Amino acid sequence: MERLLNLTMCLMATSRFLTVSQLGELVEGYEPGVTGEEQEAFRRMFERDKAYLREIGIPLETGADSAFSDEVGYRIRRGDYALPDIALAPDEAAALALAGSLWSTTALAGPAASALRKLAAGSAAVGDGGLDPLTGLDTLAGLDTLDGFEPRVDATDPAFEPCLAAVQAGRAIRFPYRKVGETDVAERHVEPWGVLSWRGRWYLAGHDVTRGAPRVFRLSRFAGPVRPVGPGGAVRVPPDVDLHAMVSTQAPPDRVRTATLAVRRGTGHALRRGARPVHAACPPTELPPDLLTGPPAEVGCRPAEAGRRPVVPADMDLVEREFADTERFARWIVGSGPDVIVLGPPELRAAVVARLRAAAAGTAGAREAAAVPGGR
């Protein structure tokens, strides 16, 4: 794709007709070669690229710059292909930037960034000057001010892309799901209607086949891979369904809880920034009995905690940090590896342990495959 973009830009950069040999020297990604076989491979590649450009509607013109030359050249007239000036209101520019940031961590990251750069280069945004009250952006500065634009939309949930693909294909899906406040996982069979963001969280809205009713599922609580089932085009959104209203009414409010973590000294700086230290002699609430032992607690602890201490390695600090989304917080903690141990609550500890076990199983599987001749 990058080679095709380079070819298009090269053909638009001049009014002259460029021959195949000239394009081979000018376009990054082409290697004309030296031998006859290499040169023939290059020409076949160019013919494929030329056919593709014409197939997608790019007006590729053929001709020659000299009446004394019979070698065919190629060019793209800017007037036939270039977009006219695009004028965007400040709120439209901000909406485009937010949409582009949505794909910053997915397969569409490259095209989204490229599109925003092209609009910024053309000074697409216009306005009366000053700061827009909605976005806080300078309305005269254009889209180039949107570099580092906030708020960013987090689309890193593994279930995001397969759920979106299922919605676009109109295909039912199955997936393991863990409800809020529960540690058990249940299999769900859903006809997906849409993937929507609500208060910084992504949700799948659809028809729960097993329960026979519309349901909303938070993507961060998917406990395994999304599996498509049935033919494409079989799922249709009922005309009377308001997906936004469905998510806003069914999505449960965040329940803020307190996590108790043992963090190795000199590590976990991001976790520590939002945490508060805990006196090791006074065990926090919600710790399971198997994590408490040792001599009596010091004077000053709450009565319910007296008599036991939390089990914390000598090179670790005990901290507390509030969280709302168990699965998302667990994913963050797992990234710290053995430098962070979750002591509570049990729901968060179970989510972290499950992710670590899955990672260990995947590593073991990869090692076994590598040990088999020809294994991948």
Average pLDDT, the chain: 74
Q: Does the pLDDT at position 354 exceed 60?
A: yes
Query: Which residue has tokens 């049990």?
Result: 346
Write the DSSP assignment of 307-376 as a string of letters: T-EE---TTEEEEEEEES-HHHHHHHHHTTGGGEEEEE-HHHHHHHHHHHHHHHHHHHHHHHHHHSTT--
**Are the C-beta atoms of residues 226 and 160 closer than 8 Å to each other?**
no
Q: Does the pLDDT at position 138 exceed 70?
A: no
Q: How large is the average pLDDT for residues 59-74?
A: 76
CA 176 – CA 189 distance, rounded (Å): 9
Q: Does the pLDDT at position 145 exceed 50?
A: no
Which of these ranges, 65-69, 164-168, 303-307, has the smallest mean pLDDT?
303-307
pLDDT confidence of residue 328: 79
Q: Does the pLDDT at position 365 exceed 90?
A: no
Which of these ranges, 134-138, 193-197, 304-308, 368-372, has the smallest mean pLDDT?
134-138
pLDDT confidence of residue 177: 93
Q: Does the pLDDT at position 278 exceed 70?
A: yes
| 102 compared with 8, residue with greater pLDDT | 8
Does residue 238 have a cis bond before it (omega within 30 degrees)?
Answer: no
**Rounded (5°) CA angle 363-106-375:** 30
Which of these ranges, 69-78, 110-119, 181-190, 322-331, has the smallest mean pLDDT?
110-119
Residues in CB range of 47: below 8 A, 6 or more apart: none
| 66 compared with 171, residue with greater pLDDT | 171
> 245: part of which helix (H) or strand (E)?
helix 243-250
Q: Does the pLDDT at position 215 exceed 90?
A: yes
- Give the dihedral sign, CA 263/268/272/274: negative
| 192 compared with 65, residue with greater pLDDT | 192
Domains and CATH numbers, the chain: 2-81 (1.10.10), 90-146 (no CATH), 160-250 (2.30.30), 257-361 (no CATH)
Write the DSSP assignment of 148-161 as a string of letters: T-SSPP----TTHH
- Please name which of 198, 195, 220, 219 lies closest in space to residue 206, comparing C-alpha atoms: 195
What secondary structure letter does DSSP report for 218?
A: E
Q: What is the pLDDT of residues 290-305, one digit of tens each?
A: 554 444 444 334 444 4
HSE, CB side, 13 Å, CA atoms: give it for residue 342.
29
pTM of the model: 0.46
Q: How large is the average pLDDT for residues 58-82?
A: 76
Q: How large is the average pLDDT for residues 226-230?
A: 93
| 146 compared with 11, residue with greater pLDDT | 11
Strands (E), the chain: 18-19, 61-63, 73-75, 172-177, 186-198, 201-208, 213-218, 227-229, 257-264, 276-277, 292-293, 309-310, 316-323, 340-344
CA 254 – CA 257 distance, rounded (Å): 9
